[in-house]
Chains A and B, each alone.
Chain A
Amino acid sequence: AQRVTQPEKLLSVFKGAPVELKCNYSYSGSPELFWYVQYSRQRLQLLLRHISRESIKGFTADLNKGETSFHLKKPFAQEEDSAMYYCALNPSGGYNKLIFGAGTRLAVHP
Chain B
Amino acid sequence: DTAVSQTPKYLVTQMGNDKSIKCEQNLGHDTMYWYKQDSKKFLKIMFSYNNKELIINETVPNRFSPKSPDKAHLNLHINSLELGDSAVYFCASSQTGGNSPLHFGNGTRLTVT
Residues of A at the B interface (CB closer than 8 Å) are 32, 34, 36, 43-46, 49, 51, 84, 86, 90, 92-100, 102-103
Question: Chain B residue with minimal CB distance to A44?
Answer: B104
Candidates B31, B44, B101, B107; contact of A95 at CB < 8 Å: B31
A96 and B31 contact, Cβ closer than 8 Å, known pairs A44-B104, A46-B102, A49-B101: yes
Q: How many Cβ-Cβ contacts under 8 Å join chain A to chain B?
A: 59
Which parts of B61-96 form the interface with A (CB within 8 Å)?
90, 94, 96
Give the complex CA separation of A100 and B44 in angstroms.
7
Chain B residues lying within 8 Å of A51, measured Cβ to Cβ, are: 99
Additional A-B contact list (15), CB under 8 Å, known A43-B4, A49-B99, A98-B102: A34-B101, A43-B105, A43-B106, A45-B101, A46-B101, A90-B99, A94-B96, A94-B97, A96-B48, A96-B94, A96-B97, A96-B102, A98-B43, A102-B40, A102-B41
